[in-house]
Each structure stands twice: as C-alpha cells, then as structure tokens.
Structure 1
Amino acid sequence: GCLKSSKQISPQEFIYELKSGTVDEKLVSCLESLRVSLTSNPVSWVENFGHEGLGLLLDILERLVEAKQQEQILKKLQHKIIQCLKAFMNNKYGLERIMGEERSFSLLAKAIDPKQISMMTDIVKLLSAICIVGEENILEKILDALTTAAEEKNIDRFCPIVEGLQGNSIHLQVACMQLINALVTFPDDLDFRLHIRNEFMRCGLKEQVPQLKCLKNDALDIQLKVFCEHTEEDMTEFSHPNDVYNVVWNTVKDTSAEGYFLSMLQHLLLIRNDSFIRPLYFKLIEECISQIVLHRSGVDPDFSYRKRLDVDFSHLMNICIEQKKIEELEERASEFSKKVTDAAPKSLPLSAGALPPPPPLPPSLTSSSGKAPPFGVPPPPPPPPPPPLQTLPGAQCSPPPQVLPYGLKPKKEFKPEVTMKRLNWLKIRPQEMNENCFWIKANDGKYESADLLGKLELTFCCKKPHENIEERSIKKRIKELKILDPKIAQNLSIFLGYFRVPYEEIKMMILEIDEAQLSESMLQNLIKHLPEQKQLNELSKMKSEYENLSEPEQFCIVMSGVKRLKPRLSAILFKLQFEEQVNNIKPDIMAVSAACEEIKKSRSFSKLLELVLLMGNYMNAGSRNAQTFGFNLCSLCKVSLFKEL
C-alpha cells in the first residue's frame, strides 16, 4: 500500500501496515509516506487516522525505545515516528490527542539521545512547542516524563539536554536552549524557577554557557540572552542580604539543618579582622559553596566521605595572588609619582627675568575654545555671575488641572517616608468611567488612618538594590535585535522553527484565508507571539537592511505587509472556531451574568475594593499609578503576589 502516492493512501491502509509488526526498511518507507500524508491531507484525514493510528504509533515507539539492543534501523524508525508525531500534532485535534496521551511525553523523553542529533533536535523542539501552546499543567507532565526516563537510565533528568549543548550541532544547541528557557521561565512560582535553573546548573550548564557565547550564532545568542536576563530578574528578589537570610533561616528553622547553619555563621565570625584578608576568605568560601551546591557531576556529593571534597579553587587562589601583586605595584607607583611631583618645583627654578606663568583661564573659556590665548595677551576677566532667579508664586510649568467627571474629587497625594513596593494594577482613568461605575461611589478615604499607613510602610517597604552591581549583558552579535524584545524574538524563533514554512507562504495563506493550510495552532501562536503594530511599522521601514536582521525580525518585515494583521488573524481564528464556540457560549454567558449580579450586590466585596484602593494609592505614592480613582478587578490577583500577606 505504501508504493502509491501519499495522497491516494487511506488512513485504514496505513493502520493495516502499522499493525503488521514488521521492523525493517519497508516500515521506514511506510512511515515516511505517513508523514507526508499527515502534512498534506486535511484535518479530517488526520482525525480518521488518529482514532486508531496514534495508539499504534506510540505502541511501535514504545517497543523500539524499550529494545535492549539499539541497532541503527531501530534508531531510524524512532526518528521516523517522531517526525510522524510532529506532523500529526500540527493542528488542534492532533495537539489535544498528543497531550491527552499520558505515555506520549514519557516516550518522547525516553527517546532523547544526544548521539542521535537529528532525532533529538526534533524531540526537543516538540517539547518546547508543547510547553508554549499547552495547558497550565503541561510543564509538570513534561518534567515528570523527564524524571521517569532519567530514573530508568540512572542519570540526572536534565543531563541529556545539557549534553546536547556540548556537541557541534548549532541546531541542537539552539533547540536545547529553547527547551531550557521554556522549562525555566514559564513557571509562575519563583522558588520553583530557581530550583529548576539550579538543577540545570548542577548538570553542567554553568560551565557550558560561556562556551556557547563564544560561538557567536544569532539564534543561539537570543536564547542565551533570554536565559541570562531571566536569571538576573529572578535574583533581584534576593538582592538584599536580609531577604536572603530570612529565606534561608525560615528554610532550616526547626529542622536538623538548623544547628549546622548556626555553626557556619559562628565560623564566619572567626575570620581574622583584616581589611585585605577578610574579602579573600569570603571569596574562597563562596567558591567552595558554589562548587558543592552546583556540583558539576550533576549528583549530590557523597555525604559519608569526610576526608576530602572534590572542590577546585586553584584558579581562584591564582586570581587572589595576582590581585595582591597588582595592589602592591599600584601602591609603589603611587608613592613614586608623589615623590616626582614633590621634586619637580625644586629641580626647575625660575631663571632671572623669566615671567611667571599666566593665571589659568576660567573653566568656561578653556572648555569652549580648547586653546590658550596668545602669549602676552592677558586673559579677560570672568563674566559676572547671573542674578539669582526670582521664584514667582505659582510659576510652575504644570498643565491646568483637568475637570473630573461625575463630581469626583482629586485623590490625595501620599508621600511615604520609605520607598514602597508597587502594586501593578491596571489603572482606570476617570474619563473611562460611567455614572453607574462602582469607583464613582467608592470612598477609600474613610479607612485612612496613621496606624494603617504606618503598618503599610512597615509591611510593604522595600530597599533599593545596590547600584554598584556589575551589569552583565550579553554582547550583541552581527545580526543583533534592532527592534524586537528578546522574549518576543525567542517565541517567534520557536514558532518559525516548529512550523518551518517560508515567510512569504505564511503571508499568502493569511491574505487568501487558506483554511486548508492555516491551522488553529498556527493562528493562535501568531496572535500570541507577534509584536505590537508599532514595532511592525518600525520594522517595515528597515526593508533595505533585511539581510542584516535576525530571522524573527525578517519574519516581522514580511508580515508587516499585511494590513490590520492581528485583527485579520483573530477573525480567521474565530471563523475556524465558530461552530465550537456557538455550542459552548450560552451556558458561559448565563453563569458569568449570574456571578456579576451577585458581586454587584455584595456589600462585603465593596468594602474590600475600597480598602484595596486606599492601600494601593498609599503604596503607589510618587509613581504613575498614584492617586488612582479605580482599578481593573483583574488587578486583585496581583495582591496575592505579595509575600508579606
């Protein structure tokens, strides 16, 4: 059956071939034809095949992965099945079926093999795409699958991914960094992000990142920049020593580790009180802790072995020795320079009749001309200082106050004594309100009291991070990002690498509304990851620099030729989903309407909103969100993010 054209083969014929149980070149050609059919046929064909065919593909993949002897033909068949799964999930139906099969993630994780570069590249790209377009709990499923696969091989779960970064394949390295970024950046919980990132670091990512930066590849640089920027953002939460201490103390308090933590602090107190020696001690201790916690082997050290830990800090000792030599040389140079300066007037006495040097020019003349006046011409006297400016009452350049609608009175401007944490609510302007709006009647001022505001300052104050922290930015490469945000560029790179359709073809699909080619998954990704229209307009002016731009920006230049791009995409997606939405929208509207009516009548909820409005205006004093009359109710979710609550 597989000798016919792929378009002519029915799903049942492929299912029959897959049931035959053969593992040879005939199955390889059959799977290749199946991949072409899944790519070229309509979604209805994919659905007919998927009812039984998906299970057969996973059954074959499971047998191949579990085989004790991994021959070359078995690896080739595994890769073909991965390619078929990739084509199968290139639509909403296929994506939902794959995510609904619990064993699909486990089999994909088990098939990861750094020695099979092409197959691993496809698998890692698949997992990255699923992380982005999947449900909220999809990340947990993928991590569980990686954990299960690693336990069977008795290795760390992230070791194969980091090992993929160590080869010579740029495509695999980019794909692995995409998956790492997806796993590390998507969780909302900060502690979980730090845990995942540190686990990658222990597996060798810490040593690998500097080497990857030296490759100077545009796509790889984007992924590295995203990784480093998110690392810095997460670490700002622990930029103050008191915050870090409180977190560590709460972690070890009332546990068996509490005594060891106290002993560590007591030993730190025994460091000799010397301004030069103390920093070297702490630098050495920090290096030891870093190597122990982020162990390069990817596994915990042997806690029962107390003779010697495998910690290498010889390079650090060399740095300290060199730094000491440099400081001594600088000190000697400073002393020598001082001696030369002191001896200079004595060795050059004024000869008889010589004129003393003219007085120095005023700074204004010296800086403006850069040249000294001709010899013998005395410098002009400095201009008289300008008269002091008189402050006129009310003479400020602020615009006239706007007239507030519906009798609203200006909000009080708070001036806290300390810097407050910000409540990032979505501000509603008075002009956007109507006369029946809750915020017109809200009276948050009645809750204001010195006691409440003092508690707010105590609870939500923040300390400025040290401004002397070194900026650690990735150097821009030849094809640097000109306009796009690195996060948007990263997501577009994943999208373009997953769908692999020429940019002009995607543009024509959208203009022609080609429903056969435009899948829901593609449209959803485009709408989600395309930049704002303003950025598209800016990129459209850079067509002459097309070849010098990165791939995401080249794609955006092509897409900028489509007028009203996002509304057009939304309309096409709505058309594809119309029938499904019609069946579901009626009960949803009824439920939402009933809930809204209940909330509008709730007096307790009204009091809560007024209290939050007062607290937010006090905490946001001096910011653009200060003196707010009302806020979007979705901002209430952000209140729970404050760890003080």
Structure 2
Amino acid sequence: MNLPPDKVKILSQYDNEKKWDLICDQERFQVKNPPSAYLEKLKSHLDHGGVSRKFKRRVQESTQVLRELEISLRTNHIGWAQEFLSEENQGLDVLVDYLSVAHSAVSYVSALTTDRAKNIDKSVEDLSRSTSNSPSHSTSKTSKAFTVRFNSLQNRKAVRSSRVVSQKDDVHLCIMCLRAIMNYQSGFNLVMKHPCCVNEITLSLNDRNPRTKALVLELLAAVCLVRGGHNIILLAFDNFKEVCGEKRRFERLMEFFCSEDNNMDFMVACMQFINIVVHSVENMNFRVHLQFEFTQHGLDDFLERLKFTESDRLLVQIQAYLDNVFDVGALLEDAETKNALLEHMEELQEHNAQLSSRLQESEREAMQKVSELEKKLIQTAKEVELLKVTSTKTRKIFPACDHRDAEQIPRTFMTVTASQLTGENLNTFVSPPAAKEEVDSGQACEATPPSSASPPHLQELSLESTTTPPPPPASGSTTAPPPAPPPPPPPPPPLLAPAGGTTQPSAADGSCKRKKPIQTKYRMPLFNWQALKSNQVAGTIFNELDDEHVLEEINMAAFEEQFKTKAQSAPVDLGTLKMKLAHKMPSKVSLMEANRAKNLAITLRKEGMAASDICCAIETYALALSLDFLELLERFIPTEYDMKLIHNYECEGRPLDELSEEDRFMVHFSKIPRLHQRISTLTFMGNFPESVQLMQPQFNAIIAASGSIKSSSKLRKILEIILAFGNYMNSSKRGPAYGFRLQSLDLLLDTKSTDRRQTLLHFIVSIIQDKYPELQSFYTELHFLDKASLVSLDSIRQDVRALQRGMEVTRREFTLEKENHVLQTFLSRNTELLDSLTADEQTAQDVYESVVEYFGESSETTPPPMFFPVFVRFIKAAKQK
C-alpha cells in the first residue's frame, strides 16, 4: 500500500475487520493500465498538431490521461511508479516535455492578452497601422521573450495546439503528477538530478490557478530543504527571470503574493516559501543578501499591512520571518557595544587579577603572622609552666619560712637554688637563653602575674627578695599576695587550653560524670556515629562539654515530631590519589657507544656553554648552570667502566683531538674531583630557596588552622549541641556517649526527618538560629582549613630531612674548600633559615598532634588531608541551609 510510517502505525491499531475492509478497498485500485499506456497517449499528443475537432477531442483525452496517471502514481504500489520512471519508459522526461508545452500555451495566451489590452487604448489610426505590420512587431517584450521558446519547438503545429491546451487544467495535473513522483525517495532524487524539471515546476507559477501556484511553492520549498536544493531553487528562479523578462529575481512572485490576497492558501504557501529560501542558508551574509532582495520588492511594507489579517496560519509564517530577520544596523550597534564591553571586561579581569594577587599576598602574610603568634603562644605557655614548677619547688624547700624569715635567706643560697631548679627542668621545658642567664645569675626583678593579654616571661622571675615567691594569680587578677604562706597551687591547666567556653568539672581521678539514658516520647532513629567512652575523652574537648545543659535549654518536642525514621547508610569516606611522573632514565652507554654521545650532545646544546666553562663552573661551585641542566648532567657522571676506558685511552698516548666533542667533554668531566658531591651540592644550592618558599606556607597553614580550631569557642558549643542531639536519639538504646569521632559530622546529612525533607544537620542549624544566633558565624573563627587540607606532614617532613642532608653535604664540601666564597656565603645565609624551618616543622607537628588528640583522634591514623576536610565539609553543609 506504500504507506508512510505514521500511517502504518495507525493502521496497525485497527481491528482485523477494519484491516480486511482496507484490503478489499485496495483491490479495487489494482493496476488497470501499465505505465507505457499512459506514456504513449502523452507522446501522441506531443507529436500531432492541428486544431481540428479530432485534435480537440485528443486534448480532452490527454487531460483525462493526466488525471488517471496522477491517481495511478499516487495509489499504485511503488513498483508501478519505479517502472514509470525507468530508463526504458523515461516517464519523467515525457511528463516534463508535456509540462513545457503547457507552459508555452499559458505564456503565449498571457502575452497575447496583455498586448490586446494595450491596443484597445490606442487610436483607430494606430490600430490600422499595426495591422499592416507583422505580429512580432506588435508584441510586447514579454511575448518576444516567449517567442524564443516557441522557435525552439521547431513545430508550429505544436504551438497552435498549445492554445487549446491552455484552456484545460493540464499544468495543475502535471504538477500533481510530479508531487506524486516526489513522494518516493527515488522519484525525488530523479527530480533533483533532472536538468529541466525544477525549472519547469518554477515556471508553473505563471498559471492562473491559485491552487496550482500554492502547490508549486510547496514542492519548491521541499526541494529547498534538501542538501544542495537551495542552489537549485535559486538557479530555477534565475531561469524564471530570463524567460519571463523580470528586472530582478522574485519580482513576479512578489506580484502574485501582493495581488492574490483573496486566496489564503496561496499566501500561506508563498510566505512559507520565502521563509525557507531566506532563512535556510547558513552563510549570514548570503542570508542578508536574500533578505534584501525581498525588501526591494516591498515585502517589509506588505508584511506591515498583513499584521492585521485574520488568518492564524499566515500570522505564524509572518512572525517566523520577522523573528529571523537580521537587522544589520542593530547588529552593527551590538558589535560596537560588544567591543566596548569586551574592553571593559578585560579591564575588570585585569583588576580582578590584581585583587586576587593582593588577596593571596594578604592571606600569606596573615597566615605567617598567625603562625608566628601561635609559636609565641606555645613558647609563652612553656615559660609559664616553668615558672609555676619553679615556684612550687621553692615553696617545698622552705615550707616553714614566713615572709620575715625569707628576707634573711642569703642571696647566694637563693641563686644556687634557682639554678638547680632551672637545671632540673631544662630537660622538660625549653626556656630562652636570656631567662636562663637571669635565673642562674640570681638577678632579681619583681614577679609579674600572668594574664591572658600579656603572659609572663622567664626573665621576669624575681629573686631580689628572700621571700618565697607566691604562686601566680588567676588570669586578669591584680590583687597582691597575702603575707602568710600560700597553700599549694592547683594543678596547671592543659597546654594551649583555648579561651572561652564552659568547662565540665571532673573528679580528682579524671573520670567523667556518669550520664543517665534519656527516655524519649517517641521511638527515635539511631544516629550511627562513632561514640567515645568515658575513658576515651580524658584530655579532649569532649571532657569540657555539657550536653545535658543543652537539652535543658532546647525544647526537643519538635525534634521528636520530625525525626522518626532510621538513619541512612554512612557516607563514603573521601580518599586522595597521588600520581607521580616517572622520569625515563637514559640508557647507560659507554664512551664508545653512539647513543650516549648523542644524548650528551643534546644536553650540552641545551645549555649553550663551552665544555671548559661548564667544568670550571662545577669546580668553583658557581651558580651559573641551570637546575635542569645539572639534573640532566648528573646522569652522565662517568662510571668505573667509563673511567677505565678513559684511562686506557690516555695510557695509549693518543691525542684528545681525535675524539669527538662529547668524548673530550667526558675526559675533562671525569677529571673533576668529587664530581658527584659537587653536582649534588650545586643542585641543592639551586633548589634550596624554592624548597623553603614552598614548605614555609605549608607549616604556617598547619599551625594557623590547628590553632584556630582548638581555640574556637563557637565550634566547641556546636559540638556540644551535636553531642546532646546524638545522646537524645541513642542513649535509650545504646547508652549515653561521652564524645564522638569527627567523621560522625558527615552523618548529620544522612539522618533525615520523617517526611525526608530535612536532615539532622539542617534541623540543628535551625535550632542554632533560634536559640544560639551568636553561633551562626562559627566558621569565621576557623582559618586556612582549605590550605591545611592539602598539606601532607609526612611528605614535607621528608623534604626537610632531605634539606638537612643536603646542607650537611654542603658543610662537608666547605671543610674541603675553605677558600670557596660561594659555599661560605650560602652557608652563612641559609643555615639559620634551615634551622628556623626545622623548628617550624617540629612546631607544626606538635601543634597538629595536640589538636588531633584534643578532638579524640589519633595523629598516626588521621593525617591533615583527613582531619581538616571534615570541618570544611561541615562548614559547607551548614552554609547550605
């Protein structure tokens, strides 16, 4: 039945009875005549001429033949259409020839009618004069153009017969036959390849029937949408222009469009065709050119008048055209505006880059200052501890002395005692040299009580009087000590204890207060955290938290209403992957082999220095060689086998000039004493500044981030609230928890409410907003967490050890080269810098271990890339509330 896919889909949904009816109907349209029968009749019409009655009867029969042919092409199976278009029958050629004859008739009658209309307005004298002339002189320019077509037929009888054909619907029927042919893929391809078919279809626009014109425009639009079809359509309209005598292309098409305003189907088809012709071109300039062609014919003004039409289909096509129109003036203005915006954007980007650079520099300076303050705080805390221990031991030595007796104690005795006490504590506490000298010498100054703003230093220790020094008062206290001997001081606070926050009193043995299980109104889901037992929180932040006090401040009824489901699975821990590039070692080739000599030649050419200058720079430790060249040159250090070959060559007494440039370099290269040590020293000296510059910010980030986390009172309070909620959910089933692992913070997002719309973290954030608004900005107290997350203490510790080994090699080289100014200058400038870097490495390690243990974790199993990202993710999730 040759149905399209959409019709086949509809047909498959029919029942069997309906399908059988369609089959019976199809049987009625069985092939009655073969294609050759129709073609013979059409050819007979083209071959015979005359206007007799018999000929008129044949014309009527040819019109009927075209109707039957169109039905056969449309309804018969595809094999019939393929037979019609076969090379044997050449049905498309016959149909195009017949259409050409029909066009000639229509054009001749149209031209003749136009001339007669003009002659009516002339005078009788002009009319009689025109009868004496030949008809060709009285025709218009249009009729002269079509006379060329008639002469090409070489058959005057065919011209006379076309006058009869023009009175029929042959042109319309021919176009319908071509549409039926173009419905097949093979037929469409033949139409596209035919040299005259599209031209003849385009010339059918001269037909008077609006239905024919609309059908022609639909076929031309279909051709235009196929690859290569747009060019064919434009060539067809160029031919139309020559045949019809147009001044500009598309002139007559626009005349039809403006005059046929009473036929809406034709106007819709014409507007659709214009849309496709103009806007189906990818080249923007060509599209503007086509658009301008129609603008010259008055399309823009006519579309302005058609805005008030009542046809929705026509309005859709008009709007589609207007939406795709290129306004060149507006585009030019947009281009100029774009250029100005681009310039402004470049200025903003440059300004942004400058601000980013300044911000990074400010961050580095701030991180360095914070790190220095943290290191001073650590040193001050150690000095305070030393003062307290010294004071305690002094009171133990003179337990029965009162203030008056203490004044009589010899100064020398106090000096010796202080020196002994100081010496006993040097293994545990590190004090500044100045402080040690003052204590040993017995120089006294008045003891200054420690305060949170200005901690006391060891050099302020007072041994001037013979009285027993009182214990330092509490932070911020300014009262003088009583004259009576004071009681023993309380135990010292933990090292680097953060300021602020409530502390949980503990028993004398350090055990935590027993917690009672919480009975909830509803059955609560379990929060799958990693809880800490009471014996695991000693010395940690959780020993200072009071979650029971938090539960007294918060109404948990709303929490119980929203959370009644079980917790979800734990999140996947994030891991890091390190990839290292492996350097391809060149193959070891002796002096005699070509590959090694070739590689050495390439290496020497890269540096661009003479061999003697290179060897001289290595011998004198000059920093004139690049680091990349030194690393490459290190691969060419002669082996024992190479040295043996060179020695044998020299023993033979052969001149060095016979060797290649690379071989001569190897001879000089091998003569340098301690060659490997020299190259290693040069490489170390060149890499040292960059290595220090890379490692120092990493130590600063660890120190600053650790200090900010440990000293944050707001973070401590938030952990207290989380501990309270966790115990509220779990204590009735699993018992109370005294703390939790930091990885449990990630689980707050997985515990959801009954309606699955809210997480436990977001509920806690809402509680903080209502009850503890001062905690909302807790993340402002946490600094440089993202930078500390990228630091690997193990890696930078190994880097520091490598610098220490390199510095030791450099010192040994200097002992052998006492007169070398380069080594002397390097050691004098960088020894203290390396010592400072080593001290910072140890400080970063101590501070990090302290903060990790403070949160109940282990520094051995929790490196910085695992510890700090927990807080980064927690802050990010809390901000997304």
TM range (shorter): 0.3 to 0.5
User: What is the TM-score with the length of structure 2 in the denominator?
Assistant: 0.27
Report which of the two has the higher share of helix: 2
Structure showing greater radius of gyration is 2
User: What is the TM-score with the length of structure 1 in the denominator?
Assistant: 0.36
